[in-house]
Amino acid sequence: MNGRPISGASVGARPRRGSGRARAGLTAVLTAALFAVTACGGSGGDDDKDKNGSGRAKANEPSRAVVTIAPKDGSESVATSGALKITAADGKLTEVEVADTKGNEIPGEIAGDGASWKPDHHLAASTKYKVHATAKDSAGRASAKDTTFTTLTPQNTFIGHFTPEDGSKVGVGMPFSVNFDRGITSPEAVEDAIEVTAEPKVEIRHKWYGNDRLDFRPEKYWKAGTKVTVKLNLDGVEGRPDVYGAQAKTVSFTVGRSQVSTVDAKSKKMTIDRDGKRLKTIPITSGAPGTTTYNGQMVITEKHKVTRMNGETVGFGGEYDIKDVPHAMRLSTSGTFIHGNYWAASSTFGRDNVSHGCVGLRDQRGGGDSKTPAAWFYDQSMIGDVVIVKNSKDKKIQWWNGLNAWNLAWDEWEK
């Protein structure tokens, strides 16, 4: 029995002593490890806190980008061009919106370096605009600014009277022409405010006559079926000092079939070609010696079933005053017409040139006979058709005398 307790004690004591040493060693290791973990953990925790806190702080900092808009918020009587300027410092512009109170936007472009924005064209007069601009700094933080301003109300304005009219159907020779009621001294500003496009697409150039007329045309006659659209964005354009445009509208016209008639003053005949095919040949009479008919390409700009022709209006004194000229179609501003002639003998046409510069076709007084050459040609013609005169002993008509743009070389028209 004694052996069992001793044995038991002996067996039990060793484990306790061994367990104590193990606990002591484990405690020391755990303490050291805890100290080490605490030291590393404490250091790491502080760093993470600083790092995370700093990141949040930077994210919450305001953007360094500064947006500047001129004119100042609430400004009135602002100039329609040159006054609107939007810039960014310590950052780059990312978005700019400028629109009037109706939602009509002013297009513009942000510079490549993001430092500025400028509008593509002038502003309208007497209009309130809203501006919203956003810029971002190098850290991607955004800064925005919103302003409003109102443009000036002009005391003096100008408008442009144009031809052809909106919705017209015209011949292939019709240019688009604008006559301004005030002389323009800033032609480039006006040019930039008028856009003429065509479908199918074709290059269109312009030319000024004096300072109050601006014409547009393609290199060659329009193709039949072409649709031409003109945007007159003249509202707010300063055409001359303190004189502003008052129009903002879109005009469109369609080109009909192609009809080109050629008058040969020598053979005294006129051929009519439609869509490239000969339609008819008609005997004519043109200008007599001393009052010859202009050569060149002319465009029909007016049609009158009956009209009065008085020589005094074109510098001929009292040589003639015919109150009922039938089937008259104007070819020049200076008084050239192609018209019916009932007072000359029928044998005159195709044989003699007896007019004061016009092209005459046989007709009946009053123009009531639809079978006469003049009546037939009148019915077959439309505004914008081309009438070419050749072999006359006269000079070529000036391009500005009527709507006769085709008499000026293409390279003399500005892009």
CB 298 within 8 A of CB 333: no
Residues forming beta bridges with residue 148, ordered by sequence position? 130
Q: How many CB atoms lie within 10 A of CB 67?
A: 24
As given in the structure block, the two tokens for residue 249 are 């509208």
* From 122, 327, 356, 358, the catalytic residue: 358
Q: List the catalytic residue out of 122, 327, 339, 356.
A: 339
Contact 96, 124 (CB under 8 A): no
Residues 226-249: b if buried by 16+ CB within 10 A, e if exposed: bebebebbbbbbbbbeebbbbbbe
Six-digit token string for 73: 């918020």
The two tokens of residue 111 are 């510079």
Tokens of residue 389, six digits: 């005169």
Q: What are phi and psi of 99, to 5 degrees?
A: -150, 155
SS3 244: strand
Task: Give CA–CA dist 300/387, Å, rounded.
Answer: 7
Residue 206 bears catalytic tag: no
CA–CA gap between residue 247 and residue 67 (Å, rounded): 33
Considering only CA atoms, which of 401, 383, 395, 402 is closest in space to residue 265?
Answer: 395
Q: How far is CA 237 from CA 73, 121, 156, 190, in A?
A: 23, 9, 12, 7
Q: Is 358 annotated in the active site?
A: yes
How many other CB atoms are there within 10 angstroms of residue 12's CB atom? 11
Q: To 10 degrees, the CA torsion angle through 46, 52, 53, 55? A: 140
- Pairing of β 75-78 and β 142-151: parallel
Phi-psi label, residue 130: left if phi above 0, alpha if psi -120 to 50, beta otherwise? beta
Cis peptide, bond prior to residue 71, ω within 30 of zero: yes
Give the rounded distance of the alpha carbon of 301 from its chain centre. 26
Residues with catalytic roles = 339, 358
